Chain A
Amino acid sequence: MAEAHPVGFQWVMEAKKRGAKVFHVDPRFTRTSALADTYLPIRAGTDIALLGGVVRYILDNELDFREYVLAYTNAANIVSERFADTEDLDGLFSGYNPDTGSYDHASWQYEGQEDNAKVRGTGKERDSASGLEHESHGEPVPAQAPRDETLQHPRCVYQILKRHFSRYTPEMVARVCGIPEEKFLELARAWTENSGRERTGALVYSVGWTQHSVGVQYIRTGSIIQTLLGNMGRPGGGILALRGHASIQGSTDIPTLFNLLPGYLPMPHHADHPTFDRWVDSIRHPGQKGFWGNSRAFAASLLKAYWGDAATPENDFCYGYMPRMTGDHGTYQQVLNMIDGKVKGYFLLGQNPAVGSAHGRAQRLGMANLDWLVVRDLFMIESATFWKNGPEVATGEIVPEECRTEVFFLPAASHVEKEGTFTQTQRLLQWREKAVDPPGDARSELWFFYHLGRVLREKLAGSTERRDRALLDLAWDYPTHGPHAEPSAEAVLKEINGYEVATGRPLNAFGEARDDGSTAIGCWIYSGVYADGVNQAARRRSRHEQDWVAAEWGWAWPANRRTLYNRASADPEGRPWSERKKYVWWDPDAGEWTGYDVPDFEKTKPPSYRPPEGASGPAALAGDDPFVMQGDGKAWLYAPSGVLDGPLPTHYEPAESPMRNPLYGQQANPTRKIYEHPINRMNPSPPEPHSQVFPYVFTVSRLTEHHTAGGMSRTVPRLAELQPEMFVEVSPELAGEVGLAHLGWAHLISGRAVIEARVLVTDRLTPLRVDGRIIHQVWLPYHFGTEGLVTGDSANDLFGITLDPNVLIQESKVGTCDIRPGRRPTGPPLLDLVGDYQRRAGMTPDRKIPLVTTDAAGGDDAAGSTDEQSPAAHQDGEPHA
C-alpha cells in the first residue's frame, strides 16, 4: 500500500500511531513491509490457504463475533443434503461437469431450494463474466431458508465451513504458503484479538488478489473472515479494494465492459434475454427481497436515456436495438480473434495493452493484424508504435512493410484540460474543474465520441438499414461550447443522474426512478449526484469545516453513503455495538436511523420491523437485515450460487505452478478459463510432466515511482529518473544457485517470451520452504516498454492467458519461468530459445491441459442451477498493498 498508494497509506500510519498493528503479506519485502509491524513472505498464489487457515483458527477457537454472525449472516442456514464438499471430492464440489469445465449450482442450494433455482448453464455464465454483472446483486434465495440458530446442525453453513476449512491447519499453511507456523499464529491471534464488539480490523487488498485464476475466491475468503469477526459495515473495519486507476471504479460503475451496462445492469444475452421483460426479470427476480426489486425502473430509465423520445413503453424502450452477447467477448478473446483476422478495427482509449495486458506478444501480433487502429493517448505509447519499434520487429515477426494495420494516433486531453468526474476507490465521485485548454489537436474523449457520433449520424442520415436505426434514434444532442464545440460534461452528468422526462428536473435519488418512461437515468446508482440540480460531486467543503466522515466532500454512490451496509455497525436492536465503535444507530425517540453517515437502511424502518408474508423488494427486508442488496439481507459466509467456482473458497494452485497442490488432488481451479490457441501455450504444472523446465515462480507489481504500463510515468523525467531501468529482484540464495550478480544482467524465459533485466540481489526476497522443498520467487516491475524516456523489456510478455471464471480477469500475478544469467539473444535466435524451452517442456500445439486432476471428478447430474452472485470483485492493476 505504501508502494502503490502512498497517500492512502497515511491512514495506516495514522492508525499505527494510535496503536494499530499492521501486518503485511507479500511475496517480496516492499516499502509497506518496511513500515509494517510484521511482514509475512508468502508464495505467490496461495493466499486462500493462508486466509483459510485464519478461518479455521477462528472457528476452531470459537473466536467469531457470535451475536453478529447469528444475526447478520447465513451461518445458521441449512444446506441441501445433495451438497458435497471439496473434502469429499478431493478438491471439487458437487455439480462439476468436466465437459464444460463448470459447475451446476443446484446441489449448493439451501435445503429445500434445490429445484427452486433457475436453470442456467454456468459455462455460459463464465463466458459472459456473469459473476460481475450483479456486482452487488442479491440472488433469488428465499427469505426464509431453514436455519439452526444453535449452529449445531451438521449441514448448517457454520458446520460446513468448519469442515471445509478443517485441513487448513497452521502446518498446512506452512506447507502451502511457506509461512512458518509461529508467524501465521501471530497474524491469526492479532486479527481475532482486534476484532469484535470494541475493536475492528480492516483488510486491504489490490490486484495481488484479483489477478489470479481464482481471484474472486481470494476476496471471498477475506469476506468470510471479516464477516465472522463482525468487521463489516463498521468503522475501522471492512475490506478495502485499493484500485489502481483514477476512475477504475467509475469504469465499472459506468462500464465500458462488454457484459455490463451502467449500474451493473447486464448486457442482454441472445438466448436468455430475448425480450425486455425476460431481461428485466433476470435482474429483479420477481418476489425477491432487497433493492434490486426496482430493477425494471432502472432498466427502463437507462433505455429512455439512451434513445430518448424514440423509447416508449410500447416499443419496450427500444430494447430491440440492444446488441446481444453470445458468449465470451472479453478483451483476451478479442485479441485472439484479432490474431485470427476476425476483428477489423480497434480503439485504444488511454490504454496500452502492448505493455499492460498479459501476453504482450499476443497483444502486439493481434494489433498487427487489424485493418485499422485508433490510439488516443497523451504520449506515443508502445501500442501505437508496435509496427515500428515492437520487439516482434526485431525478431522478424512483424515487418513494417508487410503490416497492413492503418494507425490513427489522436492526441488526448489531460485531466486538467477537461472537466468531469472520477470515481475513486471508495465510490466517491469528485468533479474536476478545467484549468486550461488542451494543446493543438488534443481533445477529450467526450469531444471525440460526441463528434464521432455526430459524424456517423450525419453519414447515415436517410439510411433505411434496420441496423442504423439505433444510431439514428439515439438521444445525442448535448450542448457544446468553445471554439472546438466541446460537449458539456455537466449535461452528461445530469443525464447520468437522471431526470424527469417531462420537466427535465434532475432526480434526487434512484427511488424516484419509474418504469413508465417518465424518467431517464444514465446510471441509476449515480442518481443523486445531481440532486437539487446541484453538481454534488463538485462539493469541496474543507475537511476542517466538517466531521471526520466528511460527507460534504464530493458524492459517494449510493446516496452519498460512505460506508456500505453500515446498519451492521449497530446490533440487531439498533444500538451501537459499543460506544467506541458507534457509527449508525436507531434513534427510538426520533423514530429513525441516525449517526455519522447516511444510514444504509430505510431511514424510518425500525429494528423490530418484520416483513409481512409475501412481501418483496425493500419491503421484504426485516429491521435487522443490514445487507440490503442481498437477496436475504444477510452476509454470505457460504454462497449457494453465483460464484462459479464454488460456494466456498478452496486453495488451488495457480495455473502455472512448480508444485503439486498439497491440499487436494485437484491441482488448479477446475473452472478457470483457458484459451487453447497456438499462441497461448501455458507452462506445464504438476501432475503434468516437465514442470521443472520452469522451476521458478515470478510475480510482478508496481513501483511507487511508476504507473501501470508506464505511459504516464516513463514519459515524465521526474519519475523516469527515479526508477530508470527494468530490473528483477532475486534473493541471494537464488543468485547463488543461478549465478546472478548484483547489477548484472539476467534473462527470464517462459513458454511465451524471453525478457531481460538488470539484477538486484537483495535480502528483501527470500526462498520459501514449501511442502518439503525450496521454492524461489523473483519479482519484476511491469512498467517497462520500448517507448518513453526510459525503456526496457515488458514483464507482462512472460504471462500466458488464463482467466478467473467469475470475472474473466487474467492470472498475471503469478507464473513460472526459468532465469539465466546474462542478456537475452536478439533477433530470430530469441524465438529459437523460446522454441527450445517449449520443446523441452512438451508444450506441443496439440497438448491438452488437464482441467481435472482428481479421480473424484464428479459428473453429478444437475437438475438445475441458479443465477449467481459474487462479492465485490475488484479488478485493476495493483500489487499486493
Chain B
Amino acid sequence: MASHAENGKFHYHEPGLQHQFEDMGQQEESVSIGMWVFLVQEIMFFGGLFTAYLVFRSRFPLAFAEGSNHLDAFWGGLNTLVLIVSSLTMALTVYYAQRGNRNMQVIMILLTMAFGATFLGVKVIEYTDKYNSGLIPVTGWNKRANEAQPAVEERAGAVMPWETAVAAAESGSEKKKPYINPHGEFQWNYGRHVYDYAIEKEKSGKPYLTESERVGYFSNGVFDPNKYRDKIRIFYFIYFVMTGLHALHMIVGLGLMAWLLFVAWRGDFSALYYAPVEMSGLYWHFVDIVWIFLFPLLYLLGRHFLH
C-alpha cells in the first residue's frame, strides 16, 4: 500500500519526466509494470488468508455455514453493489482523464469516494451488530450478550480413549479446574440449526458430516457445544481478518482518491499524462475484486441449509 502511495506521489512532486527515464513512454511502462507487480504481491497477501479459509471450510463446512448464516447477507449484497458502482465511476474517471475532461474527472472521483465511504459505513454497521451479539473472537472485546455464558468454566481435559479407569479418573481430576475460557468469551447461543439440519440429512442415510467434523464436534461420542463453538469462532476470526484487511485497503484507497482529487482539481492531468489516475484505478479495482470473492465465500455459502 505504502509503495502505491509512493508510486503516485513521484509523478506529483515532479510532474513530467523523471531523471532516470529516457522518455515518457518508458516511464509510464515502468510505472504500470510496477503497479501490476505490486498487485501480484497483494494477491499473494490475501492468498494466505484464502488458504486458511479453504482449509477450515473444507474441514468444518457446517460450522462455517452456521457462522455465515448469522451474517447479514443483505448488507453484504448492498456493499457488493456499492463497490461495483464505485468501480464503474473509477473506470469513468480514467475514461475522462484520457479525454482530459477535468470537471467530469473531479465529479467521478468524488462519486467514487462517496461510494467507498458508504461501503465503510455499512461495514461499521455490521461490526457493531457482531459486537452486540458477542461474536468478536477477541478476548475482552465483547459486550456480554447473555450473562448466562460463564467466562470461567469447569472443563475436563481430553481423556485418551485408551486410558484405564484409574488413569482416566486422574487425568480428569488433574485437569478439571476452573480457568478463564480460552474461547475468549466468544458467545454462540444462536442454536445450531445447520447442525440439526445435517443430522436430519444423516438420518436419511447418506453421510453428511465430514470426517473432521465427526471428530471435531464431538467429545467422547456426544455433541460438544464448546467444540462446535470453537469452529464457529474460527469462522468469525477469518471473517474479521479478511474483511478487516479489505477495509484497510479501502481506507488507503480513499486516501489515494483524496490526493487524486486534489491533483485533478488543480488540473495537472492531461490526455498525455494521466498515469496516476490509471494506477489508482488499478488499485481500486483490485480491492473491488477481492470483495467480489469475499462476498459469496463469507456471506452466501451454506445459506441454502436454512431456506
A in complex with B? no
Give residues in B with beta carbon < 8 Å to A: none
Give residues in A with beta carbon < 8 Å to B: none
